[in-house]
Amino acid sequence: MREAFIDTTTELLAEDPRTAVVLADISASAFAPAARRHPDRVLNVGIREQLMTGVAGGLALTGLRPYVHSYAPFLIDRAYEQIKLDLGHQDVGAVLVSIGASYDAAAEGYTHQSPGDVELLDTLDGWTVHVPGHRDEVAALLRAAARHDDRVYVRLSEQENTQAYPDAGRLQVIRRGGPLIVAVGPMLDPVLAATRDLDVTVAYTNTPRPLDAEGLRLLSEGELVMVEPYLAGTSARQVAEALSDVPHRALHLGVGRTEIRRYGTWSDHARAHGLDPASLRTRITEFMW
């Protein structure tokens, strides 16, 4: 996914003079060729994430379209007030593109992990959030973000599905059956594996914000399970609002809030948080039947 981001953004720099890239050392070497061609629009501020976001705000105030990139904990957690004030309060936009997701940097430890990034952005107004489940979904999301000036977050991960669904901005039914299970981004393959022989409807989206409320209302029949690759319950408010006049039961699965002081790989952490197929099957089955 990271390569798709670098390739697409490099193309956008050549195609659209409004495009700018702001970095804080992360991925700077990958953007070096683009920086040589567009030295005024590829800006590496060094390891200064507050400044990275402030610079993006300033660029946007002059009419440019900044793509801002780092690991999720540095891009979102560390620069939260700059996101709130230097972008939101100024009523300007940017495209924030993270790598690392919740625990891609499992061996690096909790300092390099950001399970709460989407929930942090949920405290702010006007953010579209994309969580692509496959590298082939990335380019279209980035190109769509170049055509307007709104605030967009694109959350890239190492974990990905075997198949891309490029038109999954709204809920897309992957398997039709009984109660609804919504899989966000790279959670689709684990959900499909967990429910292979269960009578459930599996719907997929790579755009949890805004959450497809109309799709939820159409597909849910009183029970639903949300499976998200970030903090469990992040979409609880959105689901409750979408189904506010419909009696329903909802189970929200995602990353737990307790810090797991272990290293390993992202798949180890997925298992520890109950997001591997076996754990998902157990939790979904207990909830549904």
Residues contributing to the site for other proteins (CB under 8 A): 17, 20, 40-41, 43, 45-46, 48, 50-51, 53-64, 81-82, 85-86, 89-91
Please answer whether residues 173 and 219 qualify as being in contact, where contact means their C-beta atoms are separated by less than 8 angstroms: yes
* CB of 57 vs other proteins, minimal distance in Å: 5
Q: Six-digit token pair at 116?
A: 């709460």
* CB of 125 vs other proteins, minimal distance in Å: 13
* Strand 42-44 versus strand 19-23 pairing type: parallel
| Residue with smaller CB distance to other proteins, 58 or 178 | 58
| Residue with smaller CB distance to other proteins, 92 or 272 | 92
| Residue with smaller CB distance to other proteins, 33 or 46 | 46
Please answer whether residues 24 and 154 qualify as being in contact, where contact means their C-beta atoms are separated by less than 8 angstroms: no
* CB of 66 vs other proteins, minimal distance in Å: 8
143, amino acid identity: R
* CB of 50 vs other proteins, minimal distance in Å: 4
Euclidean distance between CA atoms 34 and 23, whole angstroms: 12
Q: Six-digit token pair at 6?
A: 């670098």
| Residue with smaller CB distance to other proteins, 62 or 244 | 62
| Residue with smaller CB distance to other proteins, 44 or 235 | 44
What is the separation, in whole angstroms, between the first and last Cα of the chain?
Answer: 37
Torsion of the alpha carbons at 248, 237, 112 and 95, rounded to the nearest 10: 120
* CB of 287 vs other proteins, minimal distance in Å: 43
